[in-house]
Structure formats: structure tokens, C-alpha cells
């Protein structure tokens, strides 16, 4: 087996992991970024999320105001250069994007860094050490298996997979309390004006009725529709509640199987019963279902709901965040939002990124220490980019 060394190893090439790797490399650390898929972006590409939230301040009016410069700002300006335009949605402003565009931007940013090595199709299979230190991380890829000893490891896996493999303290809400996952898929051949405003409401009403009548499987009513702006294309997001499959599989596998069944049933129903969808077909589904919440590290600090809603500032703040607490819970039929004050922000403190016992493990993005509610805000892509950058800078500092 190969054994290698580096200063900073970042596990997970989502928004947080890419930002962490760029920041560590730019700070002079010999850095490696490993990602299990063949592309970067994490949920932003693998789940085809479609809008970057958390880049801008919230408030009832006014132009978009960036909360964080740095890598979040770089990604924002590069997306805008591809034609993406900020879009106001009530008190928030989002930046819509095409998954391929963000993947290409992340590829380019990574390729420019000479201190940064990228391994795609490479999975963190285990991690070894003690409660106080990770000695090595085992990677598997097409070349075989490799043990990497890193001075600092950044867990940006979305699922705190490094911490879990190393048997370090983590926190995972019970499945019933966790945010729902969603499946995203794309329809082509939809007539102009078939979705949007009152039309979408009429389609949703038809889905409710069909589900009640047993014409659609449970859960198919939990769809939302967004015209992408390209001729005939509509993006559908289906929240995965009421998972009826009880076979002994892991939760993610079960949700993937159920999602595929529902996507097929929904697409067939729309084409058969809804005006404007007669010629619609599923061109592609996201490579994986979108996971809003899973495992987080136990940190030396924990971000709390009161921090978000009270716009709490910290002496050790490393990133600004202002997205509302957005929760998609079982049985609620949609998202629930709780807002902090307008034109303000809360600080994500450094302590949420630092593992409680393990000196050389940092977390970024969805893995940072936060309560269920606080993570409902801090998980958005804009915040993950800013927090990831902070984790990378801290990792480089600690690796010296
Ligand atoms: C359905 C849905 C809709 C959403 N809508 C929005 C939205 O509109 N706007 C917004 O800003 N946010 C949205 N979010 C939230 C946001 O997309 C994610 O929380 C955010 O992208 C998380 O970024 P991350 O880098 O922390 O984690 P992830 O994006 O999950 O990245 C983790 C990466 O680690 C990799 N990985 C995992 N395990 C391993 C391993 N063992 N070895 C190697 N690599 C590994 C994964 O493949 C992945 O690429 C949504 C989320 C979902 C699920």
C-alpha cells in the first residue's frame, strides 16, 4: 500500500471543501483535495440544487450586498460572468446557476493552484488515530489504496465521515427529526407557461388529488417546479417524505430507490394528465438525492438557533451568514423559515470548525458543529464557501 504525506488533506469536494482546499493552498500549505465523484460541487452539482443562497444580506429591498468577499465573492463574480443574475425572493436574494457552470468554475479555480493536488473518484474509506489526533486517512481509488498522513485534516464530506471513521465525537439527529432529503430532476419538452404562479398551484392541486385517489404513490405531491429559462426545460424538486419502503437498507439507499420510483410515476402522470406536459420527458435526474442534513462534528463551540436569530457577533467570527433558518421537516408539506434581523448578519465562530478533542481535525460546511436549527441556516452554499475558506486558512496556519 502506498503511504504519502501532505500538510493539509481536505476530504470532500463540495462548496466547503473546494474553498478550504483553495484557501489552504493559497496560504502555502501542500494540500490535497479528494472527492468520491468525478466532479466538484457536492450538493451544488451532485444534487443539482440550482441556486446559491447565503451570498447576500437579507432585507425587504435594495440591491444584492455580498456578505463575504474572498472565495464566495470569486465564485459569485465568476457565475455572474456566465450570465447568472441575482434574483430576489421575498427578503432573500439568490443566485441561480446551471450545475455544469459551477462545476467548471470550481475545476478552473482548483487547476490554478500549484500547491493543490486534486484526486477525483477517490473515497475516504477509513481514518486512524486516537481521540486526540488523526494519524492517517485511507483513500481508495482506481490506483488502489493509499494511507495519507496529513498535519491537518479538513472534514468537508457533508457527513463528517472522517470524524466518524476515526470514532471521534459526532452528532447525528434521529432520522425522524432530520431535514428531509429531496430528489431533483429535469423535464424537457414542457410547453411555455405550463408552470409558474397560478399554473404551478393548479398542477400541485392535481398532484394532491391524484395522490389521495391512489393514482400516484405517496409523497409525489411534494414537488415544486421551476422553469429554467431554457426552452421547454423545467426543474422539479421532490421532497422525500413518507418513505414507504421498509426493506433493510441504509437510509440513503432506501431514499434513492424510492425517489426513482416517484420520479417515474410523477413524470408519467404529468405527461398523461396535465396540460402543457403532454410531450414532457425526464432528460436527467441529479446523480444523487439531495441530503440537507446528516452528521456533524462535536466542536469546541456549537452554533445555536439564538445566534442565528439574534445576529450574534463574535470576537472569533470567521464568516458572515444571514440566510434564514430553513427547515424541511417530515409531515409539514414544505419549508418553514425563521428570519434574523434584516440588513444584518451573524458570525460563524472559529470554534464550530474545530473538533472538541482532535487537535488536527477541522470541519467545514455541513459538518461544522451546529444545532439542527442553526444548521438550517448555515448549510447554504454561500455560507459553506465562506466557512470552507476559513477552515482552509486555519488548517494552513496549524500545519506550519
Ligand atoms: C435538495 C436541496 C436543496 C438545496 N437548496 C439549496 C439552495 O437552493 N441554495 C443553497 O445555497 N443551498 C441549498 N441547499 C444546501 C446546500 O446545497 C448544501 O448544504 C451545501 O452545498 C453543502 O456543501 P458542503 O460542501 O458542506 O457539502 P456537500 O455539498 O455535501 O459536499 C460534500 C462532498 O464530499 C464528498 N464526499 C462525501 N463522502 C466522501 C468520502 N468518503 N470520500 C470522498 N468524498 C466524499 C461528496 O461527494 C461531496 O462532493 C440545498 C440542499 C439540498 C439537499
The tens digit of pLDDT for each residue in 198-218 reads 999 999 999 999 999 999 999
Residues 74 and 120 in one domain: yes
48 C-alpha to ligand 1 centroid (Å)? 10
Question: Which strand (E) or helix (H) includes residue 265?
Answer: helix 251-273
> How confident is the model over 16-28, as a mean pLDDT?
98
Point out the domain boundary residue: 254, 285, 316. Answer: 285
8-state DSSP, 41: B
Q: Is the pLDDT of residue 133 over 80?
A: yes
* Ligand 1 geometric centre to CA of 206 (Å): 32
pLDDT at 244: 74
Q: What is the CATH number of the domain that holds 276?
A: 3.30.70
Last residue of a domain, one of 285, 316, 340: 285
Which stretches within 27-69 are classed as H helix? 43-46
Q: How confident is the prediction for the chain on average, in pLDDT?
A: 96
CATH code (residue 63): 3.50.50.60
End-to-end CA distance of the chain: 27
Q: Give the residue, by CA position, lying nearest to ligand 1 atom 3.
A: 49
**Where does the pLDDT of residue 1 fall: very low under 50, low under 70, confident under 90, or very high at 90 and above?**
confident
Ligand 1 centroid–CA 290 distance in Å is 7
Which atom of ligand 1 approaches the CA of 50 most closely? Answer: 8
For residue 125, give the ligand 1 atom closest to its CA. 41
- Closest C-alpha among 372, 359, 353 to residue 156: 353
Does the pLDDT at position 246 exceed 80?
no
Instruction: Calculate the CA dihedral of residues 18, 24, 29, 31 and round it to 10 degrees.
Output: -20
Q: Rounded CA gap, 284 and 286, in Å? A: 7
Residues 22 and 103 in one domain: yes
Ligand 1 atom closest to the Cα of residue 51 is 8
- DSSP-assigned states of every residue in 113-127: -TTEEEESS-EEEEE
Give the range of the structural domain holding residue 391, as residue numbers without chain letter: 2-174+293-399
Same structural domain, 165 and 272 = no
Is the pLDDT assigned to residue 250 strictly greater than 80? yes
User: What percent of the chain stands above pLDDT 90?
Assistant: 96
Mutation choice for ligand 1 from 19, 48, 49, CB with most ligand atoms inside 8 A:
49
Using the mean position of ligand 1's atoms as its centre, give its distance from the Cα of residue 221 in Å: 24
Same domain, 280 and 204: yes
- Nearest atom of ligand 1 to the alpha carbon of 53: 11
Q: Which residues contact 289 (CB under 8 A, 6 or more apart)?
A: 47, 181, 182, 183, 240, 252, 255, 256, 259
What residue ranges line ligand 1, CB within 6 angstroms? 11-17, 34-37, 42-44, 46-47, 49, 51-54, 123-124, 156-159, 161, 182, 290-292, 365-366, 379-382, 384
Domain end position, chosen among 285, 312, 342: 285
Are the beta carbons of 366 and 379 closer than 8 angstroms? Answer: yes
Distance 272 CA to ligand 1 centre (A): 34
- The total number of structural domains that make up the chain: 2
pTM of the full predicted structure?
A: 0.97
Q: Model confidence at 242, in pLDDT bands (50, 70, 90)?
A: confident
pLDDT band at residue 241 under the 50/70/90 scheme = very high
Amino acid at each position: 500500500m502506498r503511504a504519502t504525506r501532505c500538510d493539509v488533506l481536505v476530504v470532500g469536494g463540495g462548496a466547503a471543501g473546494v474553498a478550504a482546499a483553495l484557501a489552504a493552498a493559497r496560504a502555502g500549505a501542500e494540500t490535497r483535495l479528494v472527492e468520491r465523484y468525478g466532479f466538484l460541487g457536492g450538493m451544488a452539482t451532485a444534487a443539482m440544487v440550482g441556486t446559491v443562497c447565503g451570498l447576500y444580506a437579507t432585507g425587504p429591498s435594495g440591491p444584492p450586498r455580498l456578505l463575504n468577499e474572498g472565495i464566495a465573492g470569486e465564485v459569485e463574480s465568476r457565475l455572474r460572468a456566465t450570465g447568472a443574475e441575482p434574483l430576489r425572493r421575498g427578503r432573500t436574494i439568490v443566485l441561480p446557476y446551471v450545475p455544469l457552470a459551477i462545476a467548471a468554475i470550481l475545476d478552473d479555480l482548483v487547476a490554478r493552484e500549484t500547491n493543490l493536488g486534486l484526486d477525483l473518484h477517490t473515497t475516504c474509506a477509513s481514518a486512524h488515530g486516537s481521540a486526540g489526533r488523526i494519524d492517517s486517512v485511507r483513500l481508495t481509488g482506481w490506483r488502489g489504496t493509499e494511507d495519507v498522513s496529513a498535519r491537518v485534516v479538513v472534514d468537508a464530506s457533508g457527513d463528517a465521515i472522517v470524524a466518524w471513521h476515526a470514532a471521534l465525537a459526532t452528532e447525528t439527529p434521529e432520522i425522524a427529526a432530520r431535514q428531509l432529503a429531496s430528489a431533483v430532476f429535469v423535464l424537457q419538452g414542457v410547453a411555455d407557461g405550463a408552470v409558474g404562479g397560478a399554473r404551478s398551484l393548479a398542477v400541485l392541486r392535481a398532484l394532491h388529488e391524484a395522490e389521495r385517489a391512489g393514482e400516484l404513490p405517496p409523497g409525489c405531491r411534494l414537488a415544486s417546479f421551476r422553469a429554467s429559462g431554457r426552452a421547454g426545460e423545467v426543474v422539479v424538486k421532490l421532497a422525500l417524505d413518507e418513505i414507504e419502503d421498509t426493506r433493510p437498507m441504509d437510509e440513503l439507499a432506501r431514499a434513492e430507490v424510492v425517489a426513482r420510483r416517484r420520479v417515474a410515476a410523477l413524470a408519467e402522470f404529468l405527461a398523461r394528465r396535465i396540460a402543457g406536459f403532454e410531450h414532457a420527458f425526464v432528460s436527467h435526474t441529479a446523480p444523487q438525492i439531495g441530503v440537507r442534513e446528516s452528521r456533524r462534528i462535536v466542536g469546541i463551540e456549537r452554533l445555536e438557533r439564538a445566534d442565528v436569530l439574534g445576529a450574534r457577533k463574535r470576537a472569533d467570527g470567521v464568516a458572515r451568514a444571514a440566510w434564514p433558518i430553513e427547515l424541511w421537516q417530515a409531515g409539514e408539506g414544505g419549508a418553514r423559515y425563521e428570519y434574523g434581523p434584516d440588513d444584518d448578519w451573524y458570525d460563524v465562530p472559529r470554534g464550530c470548525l474545530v473538533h472538541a478533542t482532535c487537535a488536527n481535525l477541522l470541519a467545514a460546511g455541513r459538518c461544522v458543529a451546529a444545532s439542527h436549527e442553526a444548521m438550517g441556516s448555515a448549510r447554504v452554499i454561500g455560507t459553506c464557501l465562506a466557512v470552507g475558506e476559513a477552515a482552509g486558512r486555519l488548517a494552513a496556519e496549524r500545519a506550519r
